[in-house]
Amino acid sequence: MTTTTWRTATVPLEDRAEALRQTIRRQVVPVDLVLPREPECVYADVTITDIGDLQVSSVRANPATVHRTAKLARADDEPVVFISLQVSGESTVVQDGRGAVLRPGDIAFYDTRRPYTLLFDRGVDMHFFRVPVRDIALPDEVIGQAVARRLGPEGAVSGMATGYLTRLAEHREQFDATAAHLLAAPSMELIRAVLSAQSDRPWLMAGALHETLAVRILEHMRAHVADPDLSPASVARAHHISVRHLYAILARNGIGFGDWVRAERLDACRRELSRVPPTTETIAALARRWGFKSPSHFSRAFKAAYGMSPQAWRELRHLS
Return the closest-CA partner of residue 195 out of 117, 88, 44, 82.
82
Which residue type sits at 303?
A: K
pLDDT tens for the 320 residues of the chain, in order: 688 899 999 999 999 999 999 999 999 999 999 999 999 999 999 999 988 788 999 999 999 999 999 999 998 788 999 999 999 999 999 999 999 999 999 999 999 999 999 999 999 999 999 999 998 878 888 899 999 999 998 887 888 888 889 988 988 776 666 566 666 677 887 888 889 888 776 565 566 666 677 877 888 898 889 999 999 999 999 888 899 999 998 888 788 999 999 999 999 999 889 887 777 889 999 999 999 989 999 999 999 999 999 999 988 876 65
CA-nearest of 206, 209, 202, 56 to 142 is 202
Distance in angstroms (rounded) separating the CA atoms of residues 199 and 208: 12
Question: What distance in Å separates the CA atoms of residue 124 and residue 44, rounded to the nearest whole number?
Answer: 9
Helices (H), 74-201: 133-136, 140-146, 156-170, 177-197
For residue 214, which of 185, 234, 194 has the smallest C-alpha distance? 185
**Cβ atoms of residues 22 and 67 within 8 Å:** no
Q: Give the global pTM.
A: 0.72
* Dihedral Cα 203, 206, 207, 211, nearest 10 deg: 170
**138, amino acid identity:** L
Per-position b or e across 79-95, b if 16+ CB within 10 A of its CB:
bbbbbbbbbebbbbbbb
Nearest CA to 151 out of 199, 202, 203, 220 is that of: 199
The backbone torsions φ and ψ at residue 78, rounded to the nearest 5 degrees and listed phi first, read -65, 130
